[in-house]
Structure 1
Amino acid sequence: MRILLNMLLFLAITNLYAQNSIKGTVVDANTKQGLVYANIYFTEIEKGTATNENGFFSLESIPSGNYKILVSILGYETKSVNVSIPNTTDLEISLTPSAIEMEAVIVSTPFHKLQSENVMKVEHKTMQNLKAKGAVNLSDGITNIAGVESVTTGLSIGKPVIRGLSSNRVLVYAQGVRLENQQFGDEHGLGLSDSGIESVEVIKGPASLLYGSDALGGVLYLNPEKFSQSNTSSADFSGNYFSNTQGFNTNAGYKSSDEHFKFLFRGSLTEHADYKSNTYRVTNTRFREQDFKAGLGYQKNSFKTEFRYNVNNSKLGIPEEIGEQSTLKTPMLPYQNITNHLFSSKSTVFFNKSRLDINLGYIYNDRKEFEEHHHDEDEEEDEHEEHNEEAFEAALRMKLKTANYDVKFTLPKLGKFETIVGVQGMNQTNSNYGEEQLIPDATTNDVGVLATSHIHFEKVDVQLGARFDNRHIDIATGLQKDFNSFNGALGFKTNIANNVTARVNLASGFRAPNLAELTSDGSHEGTNRYEIGNPDLDNEQNFQSDIALEFKNEHVEFFVNGFYNKINNYIYLSPDGSEIDNKPVFLYLQNDANLYGGEVGLHIHPHPLDWLHIESSFETVTGKQANNDYLPLIPANSLTNILRVEFDKPWLNKGYSFIKLTTTFNQNNISAFETSTNGYNLLSAGLGGSFKLFKNEAAVTLSGTNLTNKTYINHLSRLKPDGIFNMGRNITVGLTYNL
């Protein structure tokens, strides 16, 4: 690690290439008139500007090299332009009018391209869009993405599910580094706030080539908000009220940049009472979350760097049964108190035709869990008041400290080849401090090397790569484990007909067993079982084939995705028929498994009625073991239909309204330890827009979910075995004000 840092400093000092400027105009392809406020963005150096009233733009301090510029504006097709600096100094860029929504930069894949140019299929959604649809929090919002669901414990705790795989099989990236927050537990949430998250990207399928172990099922990549453009400053604050939980979230932020330095900070507070179903409130689903994010960036000559910090403290009630009906917001016993510190740095050194990227991260996760029987029963204390945690110890307390690094070198382009080589690694320590111990103290070390290339042929794009990983686990009990895996990926993208794009991706992935699976010996609040680990577990190893077809013209977009995922040595829990402490004993076992399914979608935006959007999508996944038994926690098939209109009025900009009907079908394909789940229909609607208030922009949103107050249970709810219903009708009102 020290060698890498020294190399970075050396390169930053010695590679001081000349700075350059670029200017140009952005025009309508038909009228040749300049376009006002078109966005110009250099993806590699993360620097941008906007055109003036004549469609003119200019940017200074551009290091020499080959770059991709993305040009976008609402109502036009996003365009990507390759430029060579300093050879290119003056541009004229023509944009074609289109009703299709603007494309965004895909950050989670290595070559930072538009999705239309990407070989891998990646879903991209802005957090603003997800919240406009009534999402209460981040884990709720991602369920609006086709192929993505969430295993929930009440409202506050959610774990992403991608095509039927969850927990350690889905890797989460935040601030450019892998998030490690003891995600092995069913009742362990993300520990992240949606405040300060700009967008969400989802890679559906094995991404071990790019990210190593734990990306066997896919990646949830969370992009933090960007710094402000050079020589600009901005501030904003927002608030949302949720009728069902009588809850709220508020956040405020400020950011500023000059030509070289930039900084931002954002703070937020969220509180919710117990959520209400059609007939009762679900006791102890209340929670409180505090979050603070800060960032500092610097760019000069051929070097840029940024440092970000996020601290999140969450106090989460753990629901057990329907009891006292209350709208208080302080969690009762049992509850979790989790503090998550996330430090990250991202640095790049630009050479004339190559670049070096170094991402470093450190995550400090402090998890405390408090239980009823650890409270002093002789002490008369109102449980609705703030708990004094100094008065009693946490039943379970674990500290997880993770340092990781990701170093990639982009080689000079050689003919049709773009190539990246890299090394990634992680050092992780788990320590126990509570009265109980679920998993022992341990140290984990990962290291992986990779190489990947994107090859541009005339009619087809090819992406391929290979990677080798080693994981060494040193456990305090004296047990030592080593896991190795070699993985590869191969993908093709081509236009097989007019307006029809095909993608075929073949990839292998792996997951080393986590500490809980290897060493568990105990139970804790939030589970109804006693878990015993298996030190003889092997790697999970999978191979997935993925086919995606997409048709797009000025009136219609249609896509169909299909996948088949074969997993060897799939790890699962199974009861052995005995009990410990009056709880059934569950053992970790292995068997081969297969998952298959896909998504189909249709988006109609009839020209010239560009303001009208009719959207429909269907998703399905089936998971089976080799013995033909179904896998647990597989989401039910679902169909979503949306009617959306967009409009502008003299008094309202970016106006929209929508109505959505989500149909979730019966889930009868269940494991031996599950019960079937009935289907249901949920109706949602919303509207919003922005307007001028005291010479600044204000945005308002109004949305409602489960408008018919349907009584239902989601198959992925961990409260399902107790027959506890999901949330009833909720109306959300939001206001954002930009200074």
Structure 2
Amino acid sequence: MLLALTPLLICAQNTLTGKITDSENNGPLEQVSVYFPQLEKGTVTDINGDFTLKGLPEGSYKLVVAYLGYETYSTSFQITSGSNQFDYQMQPSAIEIDEVVLSTPFHKLERENVMKVEQKSIAELKSNGAITLADGITNIPGVSSVSTGMGIGKPVIRGLSFNRVVVYTQGVRLENQQFGGEHGLGINDAGISSVEVIKGPASLLYGSDALGGVLYLNPESFELPGQTSGDVNLNYFTNTLGYGANAGFKTSGERFKFLARGAYASNADYETGDGTSVTNSRFNEADFKTGLAYQATQFKSELRYNYNASKLGIPEEIGVQNNDRDPLLPNQEISTHIISSKNNFFFKKSSLEATFGYTFNDRKEFEEHHHEEEGEEHEEEEGEEGPALHMELSTFNYNIQFNPQWGKMTTIFGIQGMHQKNENFGEEVLIPDAITNDFGILATSHIHFEHSDLQLGLRYDLRSINGEESGVVGDETYIGALDRNFNSFNASAGIRMDLTPNIIGRFNLATGFRAPNLSELTSNGLHSGANRVEIGNADLKSEQNFQVDVALEYNNKHFEAYINAFYNGVSDFIYLQPTGEFREEDPIYDFQQQNATLYGGEFGFHLHPHPLDWLHLESSYDIVYGQLEDKSNLPLIPANRWTNTFRVEWKKRASQYRCYAFVTLQTHFDQNKVADFETTTPRYNLFNMGIGGDVRFFDQKIGYKISGNNLFDKNYISHLSRLKTDGIANMGRNIAFNLSIPL
């Protein structure tokens, strides 16, 4: 492919040079980021504030200038043949850096995007003491996690989870049997730079299953041209006696770029607030990520690979109290390979992006084999015979988007698709061998006006699921053959307006759909991780929803406030409900459908008073309600949450050394609006503190973070904990230590 494109690669060297200064004193600014998001090409200014970018294609592209302590600036810049000049004076501001949203195709800053997208850096999530990525994202307003101990977590966005939330990593859709609550996220935070959350239906951009939203994981970027770097990061957690490390290396020439990062983490059983160890909540994880890129003037290609292997204990009851790290029975062994290829072609007035991905997920679940006569020793031997449940899921997906430029209108035409194969190799079959095919076609436009932006889109999707027969006709575990097709048209419309110089308004309407997954259609067996028998329904219809989002934001140099509200109506909502019957002492659940309604929102403020710009007061409140048509409550709806943070930061403007400290009080209110088979959850408060920053050690800059979560050792149970039915509490006090050492 590269050889065929040789004529494109041989072209004139278009350059951009310029100078970035402070608007107040005209002094040069060093280490300012000057970046073209669509080209994924940028540089930083030198000690004189000067910068140079080479090998740029002709055309109009978004240019972003960003530096901590100054207002982020973005503009559409026309690159012409030969030399180009751009000078800019930055405005000092205490507002945090406004990042470019990568989960939507228009490369807008957060404040410029029509859809409200939340973005958090992994560094910020780690500073809050998160042990896992699934734990870290719960610090984002409107985002929670269905957890099974600490090692297994599933994202919940505004009350929707499982197959209603799509996870993207390396630019491709992650498929890892995510239909169950005891299936973890399956991604390590090492090698990920930031997390973006689209709240609400994103079916227009991502197809079926994005009914509830998208969790978009941005991989770490390649190094700047001509530079090489490396780092080692060390973590320790007092509660789980957990330790972890990751090390990375990256280097870039003018055209070829390379990076690699390896990580390992090990955790013993966690302790609750009363000092009890939760037996078999231990987990271990190994992760490796690497990438290779080639970038010419009008073409760039990026190849990435991620391997993740996890061993996860599944806690069921309080038993042995020790600090062992090898999981007991039952447990999971999961390995995932992700390969992605992203290719971009740049023309004068258009561009083409083609992304291809392959994911292979190998999931094994081991459970106890009871033989009354032989005793415990034989049980252990039987446990080594093989996995009770063993499924291999291979997924190929593609996403091709053409982007013509027509004046102030940016349009995306795209086709997306997926071919997926599920195979069983274990003693038990929960879902049958099956093949799923998706195909979608979309068009979406972003129109920029002087004080507003309009976004419109339309999409058509087709999904086919073909499942093989499993078992013997007449047996209670028999699964019949399946041949179902689902299709849907979906549309979205949104507007963003500058209501005043300080107030931004957003109004979005969107439809979404989700075809029932293989588990909902066909499952018939013991879900060992969930300790229940699940029975599918081959006649289920697709879910279809309509959501209204309204958002208002106010900001000036020292105060920000926002309010987001949503209403989400879901037709034919699919849910699990106990039948009251049992199969070999395990409760039986079946899948049912009913219309549902969810509504709520988030609001908060951020105050950094003048002249105390180093002081920050932050508060956020998120709320969601969910109800079925028969007026019963939806299960797994998170409790209302109020988070208040007092934070201080110091940084000399001429120095890259920073330090911070924070105190957070998080209140989870009573959850009394529960499903018929759930129990209520009382209110609880969690008190957290942390410090961090950079220190000089032997003339080397080293980053450190120390954070304490649940410092008062509160014994509590989250409403979204799957261990709640067994009366097992969440984690007690935990102190997290992190060191980041550049090489």
The alignment's TM-score, normalised by the length of structure 1, stands at 0.96
Q: Deviations over 1:365-419 (max 9, x none)?
A: 0000001117999598699xxx9999411100000000000000001x2233111
Amino acid at match of 1:476: E
Q: Contact conserved, 1:202 with 1:220, CA < 8 A, in 2? A: yes
Residue in structure 2 matched with residue 210 of structure 1 by the alignment: 205
Q: How far did 1:559 drift?
A: 0.2
> What residue in structure 1 maps to residue 141 of structure 2?
146
- 1:670 equivalent among 669, 674, 685: 674
What is the match of residue 260 of structure 2? 265
Instruction: Specify the alignment match of 2:631 in structure 1.
Output: 628
Matched, 1:414 2:410: no
Question: What are the residue-to-residue correspondences of 1:312-461 with 2, within 5 Å?
Answer: 312-373=308-369, 391-411=384-404, 413-461=405-453
Q: Secondary structure at the match of 2:54?
A: strand
Change (3 A) 1:262 1:374: farther
Say if 2:606 is the partner of 1:603. Answer: yes
Q: 692-701 or 604-613: which moved more?
A: 692-701
- Over residues 579-618 of structure 1, what are the superposed CA-to-partner deviations in whole Å (9 max), with x where a residue is unaligned? 2122222111100000000001110001111100000000
Partner of 2:369: helix, strand, or coil? helix
Gaps of 5+ in 2: 470-480
Counterpart position of 1:541: 544
Deviation at 1:30, TM superposition (A): 2.3
1:59 has 2:62 as partner: no
Spell out, residue by residue over 1:484-528, the C-alpha distance to the aligned partner (whole angstroms, 9 max, x if none).
010000000001123000000100001010000000000132223
Q: Which amino acid aligns with 2:330?
A: P
Letter of the structure 2 residue corresponding to residue 406 of structure 1 = N
| Mapped pair 1:472 → 2:467 | no
Write the distance in 2 (CA, Å) between the matches of 1:381 and 1:20. 72
Amino acid at match of 1:369: E
In structure 2, give the amino acid aligned to 1:583. D
- Are the equivalent residues in 1 in contact too, given 2:9–2:296 (CA < 8 A)? no
- The one-letter amino acid paired with 1:610 is D
Post-superposition Cα deviations, 1:81-117, rounded to whole Å, max 9, x if no partner, equal 2211126711111211000011111100110110111
Q: Which amino acid aligns with 1:576?
A: T
Distance (Å, rounded) in 1 between the aligned partners of 2:382 and 2:250: 36
Residue of structure 2 equivalent to 1:82: 76
Tell me if 1:714 matches 2:709: no
Distance 2:75 2:371 in 1: 64
Q: Distance in 2 between matches of 1:135 and 1:327?
A: 20
Q: CA deviation at 1:455?
A: 0.7
Question: How far does residue 323 in structure 1 lie from its aligned partner after superposition?
Answer: 0.5
Q: Is the 8 A contact 1:652 1:691 kept in 2?
A: no
Letter in 2 for 1:400: L
Structure 1's 465 and 388: CA in aligned 2 closer, same or farther, altered over 3 A?
farther
C-alpha distance in structure 1 between counterparts of 2:413 and 2:679, whole Å: 47
Q: Which amino acid aligns with 1:310?
A: N
User: Does residue 1:156 correspond to 2:151, yes or no?
Assistant: yes
Partner of 2:684: 680
Contact in 2 for aligned 1:16/1:302 (Cα 8 Å): no
How far the C-alpha of 1:575 sits from its partner, in A, is: 2.0
Letter in 1 for 2:74: S
Q: Return the match for 1:617 from 610, 616, 620.
A: 620
Structure 1 distance, partners of 2:676, 2:31, is 58
Q: Deviations over 1:173-226 (max 9, x none)?
A: 000000000000121011110111110000000000000011000000000100
Kindly report which structure 2 residues correspond to 1:626-705, keeping only aligned pairs within 5 A, or say none.
626-648=629-651, 653-705=657-709
Partner residue, 1:3: none
User: What letter is aligned with 2:338?
Assistant: L
Using a 3 Å threshold, how does the CA distance of structure 1 residues 534 and 234 change in structure 2: closer, same or farther? same
CA pair 615-375 structure 1, distance change in 2 beyond 3 A: farther
Identify if the C-alpha distance between structure 1 residues 289 and 424 changes in structure 2 by more than 3 Å, giving closer, same or farther.
same
Structure 1 residue 355 displacement after superposition: 0.6
Report how far residue 13 of structure 1 moved. Answer: 4.6
Offset from partner CA, 1:421-450 (integer Å, 9 cap, x none)? 000000000000000000000000000000
Report the count of equivalent residues: 729
| Structure 2 Cα separation of the partners of residues 382 and 46 of structure 1 | 58
Task: Return closer, same or farther for 1:390/1:720 CA change in 2, 3 Å cut-off.
Answer: closer
AA aligned opposite 1:522: G
The TM-score, its normalising length taken from structure 2, stands at 0.96
Q: Which residue of 1 aligns with 2:295?
A: 299
Distance 1:292 1:374, change over 3 A: farther
Aligned to 2:534: 531
Please state if 1:497 is matched with 2:500.
yes
CA contact (8 A) 1:181 1:400 kept: yes
2-structure distance, mates of 1:470, 1:9: 35
RMSD: 1.8
Residue 112 (1) aligns with residue 107 (2) = yes
| Alpha-carbon offset, residue 627 of structure 1 | 1.1
**Cα contact 2:523–2:536 (8 A) shared by 1:** yes
Query: Residues 184-195 of structure 1 correspond to what in structure 2 (within 5 A)?
Result: 184-195=179-190
Q: Is the 8 A contact 2:284 2:312 kept in 1?
A: yes
CA gap 1:12/1:540 in 2 versus in 1, 3 angstroms: farther
Q: Distance in 1 between matches of 2:413 and 2:454?
A: 17
Q: 2:234 aligns with which of 212, 217, 239?
A: 239
Tell me whether 581-590 or 723-732 shows the greater mean CA deviation. 581-590
Within the candidate set 23, 29, 35, 1:29 is matched to 23
Structure 1 pair 77–441 and aligned structure 2 pair: CA distance change class (3 A): same
User: Partners in 1 of 2:503 and 2:5 — Cα distance?
Assistant: 45
* Residue 462 of structure 1, aligned match among 448, 451, 454: 454
Q: Percent identity?
A: 55
Q: Which residue of 2 aligns with 1:131?
A: 126
1:73 matched to 2:67: yes
Cα 1:231–1:374 shift into 2, 3 Å:
farther
How far 1:121 sits from its partner (Å)? Answer: 0.3
State the shift of 1:131 in Å. 0.5
What SS class does the counterpart of residue 128 from structure 1 fall into? helix
Contact 2:165-2:209 at 8 Å conserved across structures = yes
Does structure 1 retain, via aligned residues, the 8 Å contact 2:65–2:72? yes
- 5+ residue gaps, structure 1, are 1-5
CA distance in 2, matches of 1:209, 1:40: 31
Offset from partner CA, 1:645-680 (integer Å, 9 cap, x none) = 001479992100000000000000000010000010
Q: Which moved more, 1:9-18 or 1:491-500?
A: 9-18
Separation in structure 2 between the aligned mates of residue 196 and residue 318 of structure 1, nearest angstrom: 27
Retained in 2: the 8 A contact 1:644–1:656?
yes
What is the CA–CA distance in structure 2 between the aligned matches of 1:30 and 1:166, rounded to whole Å? 48
- Opposite residue 465 of structure 2, the aligned amino acid is I
2:134 counterpart SS class = helix
- Which residue is 1:311 aligned to? 307
C-alpha separation in 2, matches of 1:376 and 1:297:
58
Give the letter for the 2:278 counterpart: V
Name the aligned partner's letter for residue 389 of structure 2.
Answer: L
> 1:318 touches 1:525 (CA, 8 Å); kept in 2?
no
Question: Partners in 2 of 1:674 and 1:12 — Cα distance?
Answer: 62
Secondary structure, in 3 states, of the residue corresponding to 1:111?
A: coil
Partner of 1:96: 91
Aligned to 1:550: 553
Give 1:109's aligned amino acid.
Answer: T
| Displacement of 1:68 | 1.3
CA distance in 2: counterparts of 1:704 and 1:717, whole angstroms: 21
